[in-house]
């Protein structure tokens, strides 16, 4: 088994996949952050008879055997239903995601928007923040968005950015006043629950 890591989803993954192909691997398991950038390498792997399995998110335009992940649109829709119930169907919302060119992230937002639009007409998505799974960027952008939307009643964190988002809410004095739903769970998050 050969393991290649990269800084974060969508960054350095093409280089890691290129290196893995040079190592003459017999199979690949990848989490394609930027599927369109990886498609040529995935086609090359398929041409060499190397099976590819995607995890966490899909790469529909590239050859691969299977994708193992949650139904991202349903995940986002469930969050839309929950936040609507928690807020009594009224209020402004902020969505924090990684990057919308990652299929998983885009589909979560799509499911969330659809449920909000169809079920909760009193809810408004005030902002969608792409934080690129970078803690510093997530914190900074959330501070900015919360300053421009101080009446935000809910925040949906659809990727692994919950801790810096919670810190931004806490630093603005919004902790405990804003409903937050995250799709990740880390020990550091427990102090905010």
At 48-57, the pLDDT tens digits run: 999 999 998 8
Query: Do the two domains 13-68 and 72-192 of this chain adopt the same fold?
Result: yes
Does the pTM of the predicted model rise above 0.85?
Answer: no
Closest residue by Cα to residue 158 from 128, 178, 123: 128
Task: Give residue for tokens 């937050």.
Answer: 180
- Residue spans of the domains in the chain: they are 13-68, 72-192
Instruction: Indicate the fold that domain 72-192 takes in CATH.
Output: Rossmann fold (3.40.50)
Mean pLDDT of 35-56: 92
For 51, phi then psi, to 5°, come to -70, 140
H or E segment and range at residue 121 = none
* pLDDT-wise least confident of 52-56, 97-101, 189-193: 189-193
Max mean pLDDT among 7-11, 85-89, 98-102 falls in 85-89
Query: What CATH code would you report for 13-68?
Result: 3.40.50.2300
Tell me how far apart the alpha carbons of residues 127 and 95 are, in angstroms, rounded to a whole number.
6
Residue pair 186/166 in contact (Cβ under 8 Å)? The answer is no
């Amino acid at each position: 088994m050969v393991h290649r890591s990269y800084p974060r989803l969508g960054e350095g993954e093409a280089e890691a996949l290129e290196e893995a192909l040079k190592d003459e691997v017999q199979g690949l398991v990848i989490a394609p952050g930027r599927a369109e950038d990886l498609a040529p390498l995935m086609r090359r792997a398929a041409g060499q008879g190397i099976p590819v399995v995607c995890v966490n998110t899909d790469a529909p335009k590239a050859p691969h055997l299977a994708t193992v992940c949650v139904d991202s649109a349903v995940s986002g829709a469930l969050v839309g239903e929950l936040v609507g119930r928690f807020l009594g169907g009224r209020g402004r919302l902020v969505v924090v995601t990684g990057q919308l060119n990652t299929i998983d992230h885009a589909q979560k937002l799509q499911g969330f928007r659809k449920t909000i639009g169809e079920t909760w007409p009193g809810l408004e998505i005030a902002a969608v923040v792409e934080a690129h799974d970078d803690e510093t960027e997530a914190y900074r952008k959330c501070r900015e968005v919360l300053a421009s939307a101080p009446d935000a009643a809910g925040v949906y964190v659809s990727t692994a950015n919950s801790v810096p988002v919670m810190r931004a809410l806490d630093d603005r004095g919004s902790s405990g006043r804003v409903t937050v739903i995250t799709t990740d769970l880390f020990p550091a998050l427990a102090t905010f629950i």
